[in-house]
Copies of this chain bind each other. A is one copy, B any other.
């Protein structure tokens, strides 16, 4: 079980730093490759990628509040390029609050619209990453490594600026990018079943 509970003040201060290494290596041609793309994925790498995702979500929220939507959108684009595998092919992404006819976001544009809104092709998107997220906690029900790909399932707890906590059922799938870093190729997020 991977748990990171960030105190609010820490969450405000740290995420941009935590995100920096991922962004710095987002350009494969500039990065020294320390891990071959064909190498097996480790549980530690999956856990680190999960923390990077949580850090990035808080970072985008923080950037939005400090520097506005354009800045947040720029950061979200960098996060998508560093954390998701849209440059490698389609990504299977079902965001928490997405519904038909835009339930599935297999393209980078669709993912960016979900996180920061403002795209007329996805009119229902109000920007999930702009909702004042301050902290997160990840509880894995399981991580399964399938050679040089991996999947995880569990709960993610998201805390906003008012202290409200949203819990989601979360599945991620990972492959390696050309720089050897994990990329999300699968992301299914859903609100818990509320009963009948």
Interface residues of A (CB under 8 A from B): 28-29, 33, 36-42, 85, 87-90, 92-94, 96-100, 103-104, 106, 124, 141-142, 144-149, 151-155, 169, 171, 173, 175-176, 178, 185-186, 188, 190-195
Contacts and interface: CB of A to CB of B under 8 A. Distances in A.
* Identical chains bound together, number: 4
Chain A interface helix/strand/loop/mixed: loop
A165 to B, nearest CB: 13
Contact of A188 (B40, B97, B98, B190): B190
Nearest to A106: B142
A37 B179 CA distance: 12
A148 B151 contact: no
Contact of A185 (B41, B151, B192, B194): B151
Contacts of A41: 40
